[in-house]
């Protein structure tokens, strides 16, 4: 059977929720996810607590995670050099994820840096990752469109892919930050980039509405993408993108697609059901309903 990597993203699911989720609840939920068989868990972020208050306890969470009986790896998002240094102190974190946007406006909103400044930050983070035996995952934000009226084209995505590859980036996830991607754009980008850079692992971080998730996943997979980010029930979205969040790709929908096409995911059904139920307990709260993706 063909195989894919699924990166479960509780960090993305939680970060836009205004009511603080207790550290104990986060630890219990992520520990449940670690038993499911995901390739990687995007579990937290080392960013300013003023910018993302929900993630202010990431250092405490990572100390309490149980990786004694799992092959799943941990990924933490970092937005600057200090965050990279803080994350690198933890041996059980494998990946540092850096959000790099080809939108000047969004890069400023997300990291308070211009694109030019972010290139320099990325270079420093790469050095920190190398020194601390971490792998870098770069998210190409606004990879499928731009809502701010700035220039965007597949050629621009290609140009930045070339620049990042030249810097040494080997894992690049194209991010549909605002849910703007169409099957045609997804197919074109992956269909051109994957053959052009065979030693780069390309991923799809798709935000989507309930009505059009299938065609997006189908386009990405058929174009050669084998790395997919998702979140149970599609919770979350980027709070820095715009006022109304667009949910993440629901993990259960992704698993349905792969099951239908006989694609191996490594997911353990009973453990997934347990984690799914834990997600329902943590996320479904009246005060947060406007901040999550609900079918």
Sign of CA dihedral 111, 142, 26, 125: negative
- The total number of residues shown for the chain amounts to 295
> Among residues 247, 246, 268, 249, which one has the least CA distance to residue 257?
249
pLDDT of residue 180: 86
Query: pLDDT class for 272, splitting at 50, 70, 90?
Result: very high
Q: How far is CA 13 from CA 30, 151, 248, in A?
A: 12, 29, 8
Whether residue 242 is predicted with pLDDT greater than 80 in this model: the reply is no
Q: State pTM to two decimals.
A: 0.92
Q: What is the pLDDT of residue 210?
A: 77
pLDDT tens digit string along 87-134? 999 999 999 999 999 999 999 988 889 999 999 999 999 999 999 999
- What is the per-residue pLDDT across 175-195, written as a single tens digit (0 to 9) for each? 997 888 999 999 999 999 999
Long-range contacts of 82-90 (CB under 8 A, 24+ apart): 82/46, 83/45, 83/46, 83/47, 84/46, 84/124, 84/125, 84/128, 84/129, 85/128, 86/46, 86/59, 87/46, 87/134, 88/128, 88/129, 88/131, 88/132, 88/134, 90/59, 90/62, 90/63
Query: pLDDT of 51-80, one tens digit each?
Result: 899 999 999 999 999 999 999 999 999 999
Q: How confident is the model at residue 237 (pLDDT cuts 50, 70, 90)?
A: low
| Predicted local distance difference test score (pLDDT) of residue 246 | 60
Domain range enclosing 182: 5-291
Our CA angle for 218, 205, 19, nearest 5°, is 130
pLDDT for residue 204 is more than 90 = yes
Q: CB 123: neighbour CB atoms within 10 A?
A: 12
Burial group, residue 208, by CB count within 10 angstroms (0-12, 13-18, 19+): buried
Going by C-alpha positions, the residue among 227, 129, 232 that lies closest to residue 173 is 227
Per-residue model confidence (pLDDT) at position 252? 96
> What's the CATH number where 133 sits?
3.20.20.70
Residue 247 has a pLDDT of 81
In the prediction, which pLDDT does 292 show?
38
Cβ-based neighbour number of residue 3 at 10 Å: 11
pLDDT higher than threshold 90 for residue 283: no
What does the mean pLDDT of the chain come to?
Answer: 92
């Amino acid at each position: 059977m063909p195989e894919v990597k699924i990166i479960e993203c509780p960090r993305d699911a939680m970060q836009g929720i205004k009511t603080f989720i207790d550290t104990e609840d986060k630890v219990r939920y992520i520990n449940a996810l670690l038993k499911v068989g995901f390739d990687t868990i995007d579990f937290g972020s080392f960013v300013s607590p003023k910018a993302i208050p929900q993630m202010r306890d990431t250092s405490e969470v990572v100390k309490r995670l149980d990786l004694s009986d799992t092959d799943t790896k941990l990924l933490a998002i970092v937005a600057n050099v200090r965050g990279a240094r803080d994350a690198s102190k933890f041996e059980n974190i494998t990946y540092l994820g850096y959000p790099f946007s080809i939108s000047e406006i969004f890069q400023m909103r997300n990291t308070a840096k211009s694109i030019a400044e972010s290139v320099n930050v990325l270079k420093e983070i790469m050095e920190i990752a190398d020194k601390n035996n971490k792998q870098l995952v770069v998210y190409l934000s606004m990879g499928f469109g731009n809502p701010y009226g700035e220039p965007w084209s597949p050629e621009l995505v290609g140009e930045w892919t070339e620049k990042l590859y030249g810097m040494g980036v080997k894992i690049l996830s194209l991010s549909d930050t605002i849910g703007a991607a169409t099957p045609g754009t997804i197919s074109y980008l992956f269909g051109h980039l994957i053959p052009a850079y065979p030693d780069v692992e390309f991923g799809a971080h798709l935000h989507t509405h309930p009505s059009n998730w299938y065609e997006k996943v189908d386009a990405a997979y058929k174009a050669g993408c084998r790395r997919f980010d998702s979140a149970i029930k599609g919770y979350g979205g980027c709070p820095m993108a715009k006022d109304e969040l667009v949910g993440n790709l629901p993990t259960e929908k992704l698993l349905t697609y792969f099951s239908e096409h006989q694609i191996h995911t490594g997911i353990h059904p009973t453990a997934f059901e347990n984690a799914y139920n834990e997600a329902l307990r943590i996320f479904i709260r009246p005060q947060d309903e406007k901040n999550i993706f609900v079918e």
